[in-house]
């Protein structure tokens, strides 16, 4: 008696015997091998392609005969002729197993294929989106058993795909009958399967086999900007990204001024809700157009945002977030139809998922950073700082993760800085000051050359140098500190004290001249005493937040620091350390994670498992409320000095000596930050 053929799938290594004549797809399903199929084995979708091995496989103890699989059949021949099949590939639903065989499942044929992330350290995303395509054949109506088309469709979905008890959006019901008849009783469905408590929901349907991927939007809804990434729900790649200003800026620059707007104006919250939803809708429409896809193919959207943005998006007045105890209306993840958010540009049945909020001041954006960076899986103690108008901080390792937020204000984004501007061409983004001559050289956005290199001015073009962006001002202040132009308390020295006439007297204070474009009709770019004070306030808030988490955790140092956020990617670690934005760690242990919140949104879009993980993780995080913690004010005051009044920053000073001038007596007139600092020392 001959044995059934042995089939071995790679890379999974799953193996087993199946009766001769079994198709590869059936064998894969029986053995629990991850082999994709949208059409359910009808030879239409080509998702189940595999590559059969040939010859001897010592590792598996198998020799594969030439005719281990059945010959290419008419369906495969037709598919190859019309759409083309890569060499050596077979359709798993057509090829039958005749004798022992080794079959390789290429990545694109795996349902749970992995999406490799740019950041080499990061875990890959395993595809497991909530909304997927399913091709189904529906029995025709029978007058003598007059069940509805929907009921037969739902039964077909259960029978052919084991998706039980699906429901249908009202819009689906409206187009169901026509689609079934046009597709001759075959349709492609987009089915959403969210949390276990939500029944599967038919989001949309198309007549016949629909050969186009489904898309999702990963949206990072910030106070200042809204960024959206059009992401494939089939392989997780980002097809197009776009960002726009948050139109709520006209109601207030920062979060608290928007909360105030809502408190002071009847209907103010609703106004801001309408504005932000319309902007998101426009953004989605624009992305679809840019990518050349139908907006109807966008069937999911995932949102990450801080609590105030989160509430305004959901139509909730954020007033409670402006006062203790900072109660969230809802803290858990929210899943609801896109039409409830008036998102009309994307599919009418699209589902929205908003990540959970960690606390009243620590939002779904921080949850997304946690999902992207997984501090709970870190072997060493990591501090993750998402720098923005409001900074989110996470501190933790496998033992425990803590989170807080800190109101840094807009200075890091170039706002409230005399020569400040948003990151755009013409903005100074990097700067170095010669310790001897005190002369600056700099680089602007849109030009790779430094200002002291040949051809710099030609390369910059007629727009010239227009201002300083966030990363530029951080470097400028830090470089001024290194060059001895600013003392530890943040006071700018005079021309006499510093020996350079770049120091310009402005009333009782001084400013440092970086570039005088006045001759060419451009701006005069300086760093003023007020700028230094603004940066001191912002960095003190950031450091104080980090220190508070360290207190809670009972540590005096962290092992490494991750700078997250679009802006975080542009911050020079050394300058951040000189400024004392972050605790003292070796400079090489300060890394950038890019837009981790956006990445977290994308992970949640691609993976239901990740949603469950972040939902659990968020509940396990220890929340620290900076606004009511008396020590926060203490830490804030001590952090006002550059780099710090009490923390030694010995590691930094070992590699980067800092001069210690004192401009107090002669410089005169200090800002608020200076006064505070004095009080703390008294």
For binding to a second copy (CB under 8 A), which residues are involved? 140-151, 165, 168, 170, 173-174, 176-178, 197, 199, 314-317, 319-320, 324-332, 336, 340, 357-360, 623, 625, 628
- Min dist CB 329 to a second copy, Å, is 5
Tokens of 547: 């220190």
Nearer to a second copy, 13 or 199 (CB): 199
State the Cα torsion 155-158-163-168 to the nearest 10°: -10
| One-letter-per-residue 3-state SS of 199-218 | CCEEEEEEECCCCCCCEEEE
Residue number, 613 or 625, with CB nearest to a second copy? 625
**Burial, 379: exposed, middle or buried (Cβ in 10 Å; 0-12, 13-18, 19+)?**
exposed
Residue closer to a second copy by CB (options 125, 395) is 395
- Taking the least distance from each CB to a second copy, the nearer of 150 and 562 is 150
Choice between 145 and 660, CB closer to a second copy: 145
Residue 331 vs 451, nearer CB to a second copy: 331
Contact predicate 573/583, CB 8 Å: no
For residues 271 and 318, is the Cβ–Cβ distance under 8 A?
A: no
* Residue the block writes with tokens 């809502």: 262
Nearest-approach distance from CB 324 to a second copy, in angstroms: 7
Nearer to a second copy, 177 or 655 (CB): 177
Structure tokens at 548: 């508070």
Q: 529 by DSSP, 3-state: which? A: helix
CB-based contacts of 512: which residues, under 8 Å, 6+ apart?
A: 476, 480, 485, 492, 502, 503, 504, 526, 527
Give CA–CA dist 275/221, Å, rounded. 13
Which two three-digit tokens encode residue 386?
């998402």
| Measured CA distances, 584 to 43, 392, 435, 537 (Å) | 60, 19, 23, 18
- Rounded CA-CA distance 225/423 in Å is 12
Minimal distance, residue 629 CB to a second copy, in Å = 10
Tell me the closest approach of the beta carbon of residue 357 to a second copy, in angstroms: 7
**List of residues 6+ apart from 439 with CB closer than 8 A:** 433, 500, 502
Q: Between residues 360 and 440, which has the closer beta carbon with respect to a second copy? A: 360
To the nearest whole angstrom, how small is the minimum distance from the Cβ of residue 197 to a second copy? 6
State in angstroms the smallest separation of the CB of 330 from a second copy. 4
Cis status, amide bond into 325, omega within 30 of 0: yes
* Smallest separation, CB 628 to a second copy (Å): 7
Shortest approach of a second copy to residue 180 CB, angstroms? 9
- What's the closest the beta carbon of residue 146 comes to a second copy, in angstroms? 4
* 87/23 Cα distance (integer angstroms): 20
Least distance in angstroms from the C-beta of 293 to a second copy = 26
CA distance 546 to 383: 8
Q: Which of 315, 384, 356, 330 is nearest to 561 (CA)?
A: 384
- CB-wise, 1 or 143, nearer to a second copy? 143
Nearer to a second copy, 268 or 490 (CB): 268
């Amino acid at each position: 008696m001959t044995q059934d053929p042995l089939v071995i799938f790679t890379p999974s290594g799953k193996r087993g015997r199946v009766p001769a004549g079994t198709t590869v797809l059936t064998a894969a399903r029986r053995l629990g091998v991850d082999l994709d199929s949208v059409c359910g084995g009808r030879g239409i979708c080509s998702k189940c392609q595999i590559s059969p091995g040939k010859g001897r496989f010592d590792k598996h103890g198998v020799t594969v005969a030439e005719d281990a699989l059945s010959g290419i059949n008419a369906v495969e021949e037709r598919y190859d002729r019309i759409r083309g099949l890569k060499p050596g590939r077979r359709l798993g639903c057509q090829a039958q197993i005749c004798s022992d065989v080794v079959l390789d499942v290429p990545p694109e044929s795996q349902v749970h294929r992995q999406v490799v992330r740019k950041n080499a350290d990061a875990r890959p995303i395993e595809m497991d989106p909530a909304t997927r395509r399913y091709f189904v054949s529906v029995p025709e109506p029978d007058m003598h058993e007059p069940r509805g088309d929907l009921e037969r469709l739902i039964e077909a979905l259960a029978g052919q795909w084991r998706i039980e008890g699906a429901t249908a959006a009202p819009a689906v019901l409206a187009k169901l009958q026509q689609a079934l008849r046009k597709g001759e009783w075959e349709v492609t469905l987009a089915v959403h399967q969210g949390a276990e408590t939500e029944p599967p929901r038919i989001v949309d349907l198309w007549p016949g086999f629909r050969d186009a991927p489904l898309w999702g939007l990963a949206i990072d809804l910030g106070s200042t900007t809204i960024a959206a990434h059009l992401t494939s729900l089939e392989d997780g790649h980002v097809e197009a990204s776009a960002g726009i200003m948050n139109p709520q800026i006209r109601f207030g620059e920062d979060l608290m001024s928007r909360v105030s707007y809502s408190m002071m104006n009847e209907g103010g919250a609703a106004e801001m809700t309408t504005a932000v939803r319309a902007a998101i809708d426009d953004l989605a429409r624009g992305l679809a157009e840019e990518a050349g896809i139908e907006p109807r193919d966008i069937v999911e959207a995932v949102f990450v945002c801080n609590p105030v943005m989160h509430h305004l998006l959901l139509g909730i007045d954020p007033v409670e977030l402006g006062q203790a105890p900072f109660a969230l209306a809802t803290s858990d993840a929210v899943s609801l139809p896109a039409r409830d958010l008036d998102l009309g540009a994307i599919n009418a049945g699209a589902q929205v998922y908003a990540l959970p909020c960690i606390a009243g001041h620590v939002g779904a954006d921080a949850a997304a950073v946690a999902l992207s960076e997984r501090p709970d899986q870190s072997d060493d103690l990591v501090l993750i700082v998402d720098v923005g108008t409001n900074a989110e901080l996470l501190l933790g390792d496998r033992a425990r993760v803590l989170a807080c937020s800190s109101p840094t204000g807009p200075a890091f984004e170039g706002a409230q800085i005399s020569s400040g501007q948003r990151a755009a061409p013409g903005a100074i983004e990097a700067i170095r000051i010669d310790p001897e001559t005190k002369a600056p050289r700099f680089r602007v956005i849109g030009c790779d050359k430094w200002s002291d290199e040949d051809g710099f001015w030609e390369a910059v073009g007629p727009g010239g140098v227009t201002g300083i962006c966030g990363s530029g001002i951080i470097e400028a202040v830090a470089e001024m500190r290194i060059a001895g132009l600013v003392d530890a308390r943040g006071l700018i020295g005079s021309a006499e004290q510093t020996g350079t006439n770049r120091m310009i007297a402005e009333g009782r204070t001084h400013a440092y001249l970086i570039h005088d474009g006045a001759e060419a009709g451009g701006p005069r770019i300086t760093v003023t005493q007020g700028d230094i004070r603004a940066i001191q306030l912002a960095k003190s808030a950031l450091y104080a937040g980090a220190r508070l988490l360290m207190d809670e955790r009972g540590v005096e140092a962290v092992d490494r620091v991750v700078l997250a956020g679009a802006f975080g990617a542009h911050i020079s670690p050394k300058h951040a350390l000189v400024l004392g934005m972050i605790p003292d760690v070796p400079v090489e242990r300060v890394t950038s994670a890019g837009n981790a919140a956006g990445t977290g949104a994308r992970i949640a879009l691609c993976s239901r498992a990740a949603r469950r993980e972040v939902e659990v993780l968020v509940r396990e995080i220890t929340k620290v409320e900076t606004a009511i913690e008396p020590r926060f004010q203490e830490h804030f005051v001590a952090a006002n000095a550059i780099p710090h009044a009490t923390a030694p920053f010995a590691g930094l000073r070992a590699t980067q000596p800092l001069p210690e001038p004192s401009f107090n007596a002669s410089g005169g007139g200090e800002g608020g930050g200076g006064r505070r600092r004095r009080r703390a020392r008294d």
